[in-house]
Amino acid sequence: MPIIRVEDVSKTYRLGEQNVTALEGVSLTVEPGVFMAIAGPSGSGKSTLLNIMGCIDTPSKGRVEIDGKDVSGQTPDALAEVRARTIGFIFQTFNLLPVLSAEENVEYPLLQLPELSRAERRERVAHYLAMVGLSRYARHRPNQLSGGQRQRVAIARALVTHSRVVLADEPTANLDRRTGESILNLMRDINQNAGTTFVFSTHDKRVMNRADRLVRMEDGQITALGMKRDGNWIFVQDRRKPEDDPEI
């Protein structure tokens, strides 16, 4: 069963007098264990799609299933529960709380899980800080950390609730190339070792090439779906125009 299924989803925003169509008839399934890139130019709908997949935003039309459950009929509390226990988020600008230390930032989402004791929370936080290589920086505040270190804190925070799927919106866009690569390597290692599913958006070709599933977006629609086999992309759906990038 897919972890996330998006079925014929459209999203229209009202902007003053105008309607802006951010997504139009998007259908997508995310199978457990994939390392999926959503690629497309700025404004193509990547963030809107990730937000809808993560139940931070709701579609104007269509349905979203998380773990086989339709989320559209659920109350805000039930949705918050789904988010807290199933989905982790990583953002381009890290979105850490500036007044909290690295370990407090990682602990933060655990405060929503009442079954965990203080000792269990501490143990989990220590485990995930170690996983991202930041044990020595536990007491540092975000402004005492580099961009790459901040994104590592965000990765630990996304995983600490034992999320099954991590949604990352342009996680490397604010990092230099080498740091971005190390963040991507870390995500890939966690994907392969722990089986955590990752869906990340990007417009960087090097980043999309690291994925094993590729979703191409253009003007709010999916124009191609790719799967990597023996290092080569195979496209199962391809509605790209000839002038689009021929490679991937």
User: Which residues here bind ligand ADP, judged by CB under 6 A?
Assistant: 13, 15, 20, 22, 40, 42-48
Choose between 35 and 200: whose C-beta lies nearer to ligand ADP. Answer: 200
Choose between 44 and 151: whose C-beta lies nearer to ligand ADP. Answer: 44
Piece of 42-50, 171-179, 192-200, 225-233 that binds Mg ion (CB under 5 A): 42-50
From candidates 4, 28, 47, 102, binder to Mg ion by CB under 5 A:
47
Choose between 22 and 145: whose C-beta lies nearer to ligand ADP. Answer: 22
The minimum distance between CB 151 and ligand ADP, in angstroms, equals 18
Q: Please check whether residue 167 is in contact with residue 89, taking contact to mean a CB–CB distance below 8 angstroms.
A: yes
Q: What order of strands is seen across the sheet that includes strand 165-169? A: 87-91, 165-169, 197-202, 35-39, 213-218, 221-229, 232-238
Q: What is the dihedral of CA 111, 113, 118, 123, to 10 degrees?
A: -100
Cβ-closest position to Mg ion: 47
Q: Please check whether residue 169 is in contact with residue 50, taking contact to mean a CB–CB distance below 8 angstroms.
A: yes
Rg over alpha carbons for the chain, rounded to the nearest Å, is 18
Q: Which residue has the tokens 């690569």?
A: 181
Q: Please check whether residue 74 is in contact with residue 82, taking contact to mean a CB–CB distance below 8 angstroms.
A: yes
Choose between 60 and 179: whose C-beta lies nearer to ligand ADP. Answer: 60
The one of Mg ion, ligand ADP, none whose footprint includes residue 111, by CB under 5 to 8 A per kind, is none
The minimum distance between CB 198 and ligand ADP, in angstroms, equals 17
| Binding residues for Mg ion (CB under 5 A) | 46-47
